[in-house]
A and B are shown apart, each in its own frame.
Chain A
Amino acid sequence: MPAGHAQGIAFHEEHRSSVACLVELDATDPANPRVTKAVVAADVGLPVNPRGLEAQLMGAVMDGISVTLQAGLHIDQGAVREGSYADFHYARQRHSPPAFEVHLMPPTGDPGGAGELGVPAAAAAVANAYARATGTSPRSFPINF
């Protein structure tokens, strides 16, 4: 990878399903990192609706990008300070990876869960990529908050 870019990977299991995520991150501007590619592989036992499962994993990657890099809430005297999407920085199109792949493993048995299966793997993959790209070890998230 070029200077300031890095790959990150992570793996997660829950609800009798398994998922792995790889992202490529451009952190040449550490205050404004961009995930440029994401690849997700999932084994959910039996994909009942493969296109829907792909979509769910795609959304999970966007959640992982958001919560790791930029979208958080401040609790101020017991109340959430953020009041709208103007200050709760959930990912927009400009934060989404222009390259995205999903690989669904062949059926192995009963269906497992896939509701938010991809979120922990995606979040950790983004954090690992950021750490590697910047030479830092972020311990507080979102990183740019």
Chain B
Amino acid sequence: MADHRLKPITPLGHDVPHSVTLGPVTITEVVDTALASLAARMGEGKAVADIADAAGIPLPPPGKAAKAATYATFWLSPDMWMVEAPFATHEDIVAILKPHFGETASITEQTDAWARFDVTGADLPAMFERLCNFDLRAHGPGSATRTVIEHLGCYVVIRAEGHLSVIGPRSSAASVFHALETAARSAF
């Protein structure tokens, strides 16, 4: 194998994750998460639920996210979830998940398709009501949805009170980050 001296960069093109604090809000790139989508094949819903349960992968209901010891997940669509795992131990996440599920589910690596920005601070609803249709005042921790931010389809996952993740298309990471910054400046 050729000796490539390639240097990994973050979605925003930096050496280390970028972070900015605007008033009470901090927006941080998060690059330590591996992602894979997990879709139960037709008629395998029960089998997938049992396997996931044994493997420590929570499968939350529509509009929800869940977290276990190693894996965190959020609901994507009927019979489909996004699985998050620590990048350091699960870089090849499909190879780790596939032996569990075999032919019952279709698993696709998503890690480098997405850029994740964690937003922390008080009064996030004031910022996100400027950004998207997702009503943070009506949804608490453990909620997750896909919505439109800056004309881009993004997932919003509420991790805890005052902490949420925006997961947007990596190729448009700068646009998502710009939208978040602009909304934070506008709100605070």
The answer to whether A binds B is no
